[in-house]
Amino acid sequence: MPVIAGIRITPITARVYFAVQALCGALWWVTVALSAEVRDATLGALPAPVIAAFDIPLFVVGSALAATGVRWALWVVTPWTVLVAVGMAVYATATTLAGWGALLMAVAAGASIAAAIVVLCGRAPVEWIVTGPFAFRTAERVGTRGLLARTGRQTLAFWGTFLILVPVIAAAVEARWGLRIDVPPAVHIAGGALLVVATMLGVWSAVSMSVHGEGTPLPSQMARRLVITGPYRYVRNPMAVAGIAQGVAVGMLLGSWMVVAYSLVGSLLWNTLVRPLEEADLEQRFGAEFVAYRDRVTCWIPASPVVRQV
C-alpha cells in the first residue's frame, strides 16, 4: 500500500481528498466573490457568474458527493475537472490571464483522476506502472559494448525528454501564464554547477549498471547481476539521485520554480510508487544478497556503507 507524505493511499484517503477538494472549491468561490485580485488571478476576464453556475454543482457538490461514497459522482466531478483544466490552460495560454487558475485546476485534475482510480479499484493499483513495456525484465546478453550503446541511447532519450523538452515547455508555460518569479544570477550559476555534478553521477551510475550489472537503466532491460560497486557502494539509487538533482538544476538554470517543483514531485512519486516495486523485484531475484545490501547502504543520502559487526 503506497504511502505519500506519511499518508496511506486507500479509498478512504481518496474520499477525504474529494472532501478537501469540495471545501477548497467552496472557499475559492467565496473568495472570488469577495476579492477582485483573486478573481483576476484565477479567472481573468471570464464571467464568474456563468462559470459558477456550472462549477459549483459539478465540481464543489460533485466532490462532496464523491467524498460521501456516491460512486456515480466520480464520473461527474473527474471529467468536469479535467475539462475545466484543459479549458483554463487554453485560455491562459491564449490570453496570458488566469494563470493561477489554470495551474490550480491542472493540479486538481491530476489529483481527481488518481483519487477516482483508487476509489473505483478499491486500492491504489501501483502495479499498472510496471506493466507492458515498463515491466521488470532482465536484459538479454548482448555484451558490454552493446549494453553501453543501449544505455547511451536510453540516457539521451531520457535527458532529451525529461531534462530538455518538458522543462522548456514548463518554463514557457510558466512565463506565458504570468507565474514566473525572477531569481538572482547566483541561482543560475549554482544550477549550472549542480547540473555538471549530477550529470557526472548519472553517467557513472549508468556505466556501472552496464559494465558490472550486465543491464541498462530501463526497467525492461534490468541488470542481470546486483550492482554494489561504483556509486552504488554509497547510495542505492544513484541514478534517481542524479536525475532529481539534474531536474532541479535545470529548473535553477531556467529560473523556473515550476521545473523545480516538477522534479521534486516526480521524485516523491518515484520514491512512493516505483521504488517499492523495484526493490521487491530485486529482493525476489537476488534474495539475501540484496537484503544485506539494502540494510547496509542508504537509499537517498550518499554515505559510507555500514559494516556489520560479526
> Between 220 and 148, where is the model more confident?
148
Domain ranges of the chain: 3-124, 129-296
**pTM score above 0.85:** yes
Q: What is the pLDDT of residue 190?
A: 97
Three cell numbers written together for 217? 537503466
Q: Tell me which fold the domain 129-296 belongs to.
A: Four Helix Bundle (Hemerythrin (Met), subunit A) (1.20.120)
The band of 308, judged by pLDDT with boundaries at 50, 70 and 90, is: very low
Give the model confidence (pLDDT) of 116-153 as tens digits.
999 999 988 888 887 877 788 888 888 888 889 989 99
Question: Comparing C-alpha atoms, which of 201, 281, 274 is closest to residue 241?
Answer: 201
Nearest-angstrom CA–CA distance, 176 and 208: 41
Q: Which residues fall within 8 angstroms of residue 258, CB to CB, at 6 or more apart?
A: 170, 171, 173, 174, 179, 251
Q: What is the pLDDT of residue 189?
A: 96
Q: What is the pLDDT of residue 126?
A: 84
Mean pLDDT, all residues of the chain: 91
Nearest-angstrom CA–CA distance, 121 and 141: 38
> Could you tell me what percent of the chain has a pLDDT over 90?
75
150-178 core/surface letters (b: 16 or more CB in 10 A; e: else):
bbeeebeebbeebbeebbeebbebbbbbe
pLDDT at 309 > cutoff 50? no
Query: Quick one: CA dihedral 232, 234, 237, 238, positive or negative?
Result: negative
pLDDT at 156 > cutoff 70? yes
Q: Once rounded to an integer, what is the mean pLDDT over residues 263-289?
A: 90
Nearest-angstrom CA–CA distance, 267 and 242: 11
Nearest-angstrom CA–CA distance, 270 and 266: 6
Could you report how far apart the first and last alpha carbons of the chain are, in Å? 34
Nearest-angstrom CA–CA distance, 196 and 202: 10
Q: What is the pLDDT of residue 6?
A: 59
pLDDT at 2 > cutoff 70? no
CB-based contact 55:29 (threshold 8 Å)? yes
